[in-house]
Chain A
Amino acid sequence: MPGTAVSSHAPRIRWHIVVFLAPAVLVYTAVMILPLFDTLRLALYDEVEGQRVFVGLENFRTLFGDPNWSRQFWNALANNFWFFLIHMAVQNPIGIALAAILSNPRLRFSGFYRSAIFIPTILSFVIVGFAWKLILSPIWGIAPGMLDAIGLKSLFAPWLGREETALTTLALISVWQFVGIPMMLIYAALLSIPDEILEAGECDGVTGFSAFWKIKLPLILPSIGIISILTFVANFNAFDLIYAAQGALAGPDFSSDILGTFLYRTFFGFQLQLGDPHMGSAIASAMFAVILIGVCLYLFGIQTRIRRYQL
Chain B
Amino acid sequence: MSTARHTPLNSVAAHAALIAYTLIALFPVFVIVINSFKERRAIFREPLALPDAESFSLIGYQTVMKQGDFFLYFQNSFIVTVASLFFILLFGAMAAFALAEYRFRGNTLMGLYLALGIMIPIRIGTVAILQMMVATGLVNTLWALILVYTAQGLPLAVFILSEFMRQVSDDLKNAGRIDGLSEYKIFFRLVLPLVRPAMATVAVFNMIPIWNDLWFPLILAPAEEVKTLTLGSQVFIGQFVTDWNAVLSALSLAILPVLVLYVIFSRQLIRGITSGAVK
Residues facing A in B20-50 (CB within 8 A) are 21-22, 24-26, 28-29, 31-32, 43-44, 47-48
User: B83-98 toward A: CB 8 Å interface, digit per residue (1/0)?
Assistant: 0000100111011011
B121 & A116 in contact (Cβ 8 Å cutoff): no
From A21-29, A81-89, A158-166, give the one contacting chain B. Answer: A21-29
B214 & A244 in contact (Cβ 8 Å cutoff): yes
A116 & B22 in contact (Cβ 8 Å cutoff): yes
A126 & B214 in contact (Cβ 8 Å cutoff): yes
A17 & B230 in contact (Cβ 8 Å cutoff): no
A184 & B273 in contact (Cβ 8 Å cutoff): yes
Q: Does B194 contact A (CB under 8 A)?
A: no
Contacts of A127 in B (CB 8 A): 32, 233, 251, 254-255
Closest to A26 in B: B91
Contacts of A98 in B (CB 8 A): 17-18, 21
Q: Does B62 contact A (CB under 8 A)?
A: no
- Given A39-B126, A233-B119, answer yes or no on A208-B254 (Cβ-Cβ < 8 Å): no
B28 & A113 in contact (Cβ 8 Å cutoff): no
B211 & A124 in contact (Cβ 8 Å cutoff): yes
- Given A1-B103, A27-B151, answer yes or no on A122-B18 (Cβ-Cβ < 8 Å): no
Cα distance A99–B213 when bound, in Å?
A: 27
Cα distance A30–B99 when bound, in Å?
A: 20
From A64-72, A250-258, A280-288, give the one contacting chain B. Answer: A280-288
Cα distance A114–B10 when bound, in Å?
A: 19
Contacts of B108 in A (CB 8 A): none
Instruction: Select which of B128, B173, B219, B237 is within 8 A of A36 by beta carbon.
Output: B128
Residues facing B in A139-180 (CB within 8 A) are 140-142, 145, 176, 179
B32 & A131 in contact (Cβ 8 Å cutoff): yes
Instruction: Select which of A16, A115, A142 is within 8 A of B47 by beta carbon.
Output: A142
Chain A residues with a Cβ closer than 8 Å to the other chain, count: 98
Residues facing B in A92-111 (CB within 8 A) are 94, 97-98, 101-102, 104-107, 109
Q: Does A272 contact B (CB under 8 A)?
A: no
Cα distance A106–B275 when bound, in Å?
A: 20
Residues facing A in B216-265 (CB within 8 A) are 218-219, 230, 233-234, 237, 244, 247-248, 251, 254-255, 258-259, 261-262
User: A10-46 toward B: CB 8 Å interface, digit per residue (1/0)?
Assistant: 0000101101110111011011111110110010000
- Given A14-B104, A184-B273, answer yes or no on A31-B29 (Cβ-Cβ < 8 Å): no
A35 & B132 in contact (Cβ 8 Å cutoff): yes
B29 & A8 in contact (Cβ 8 Å cutoff): no
Instruction: Select which of B102, B114, B132 is within 8 A of A3 by beta carbon.
Output: B102
A32 & B128 in contact (Cβ 8 Å cutoff): no
A106 & B18 in contact (Cβ 8 Å cutoff): no
Closest to B250 in A: A130
Contacts of A102 in B (CB 8 A): 18
CB distance from A98 to the nearest CB of B (A): 6
CB distance from A196 to the nearest CB of B (A): 12
User: A274-311 toward B: CB 8 Å interface, digit per residue (1/0)?
Assistant: 00010011001101100110010000000000000000
B4 & A280 in contact (Cβ 8 Å cutoff): no
Contacts of A8 in B (CB 8 A): 103-105
**8 additional contacts (CB under 8 A) given A36-B120, A116-B25, A117-B25:** A21-B98, A25-B95, A28-B151, A131-B32, A184-B270, A207-B4, A260-B123, A292-B120
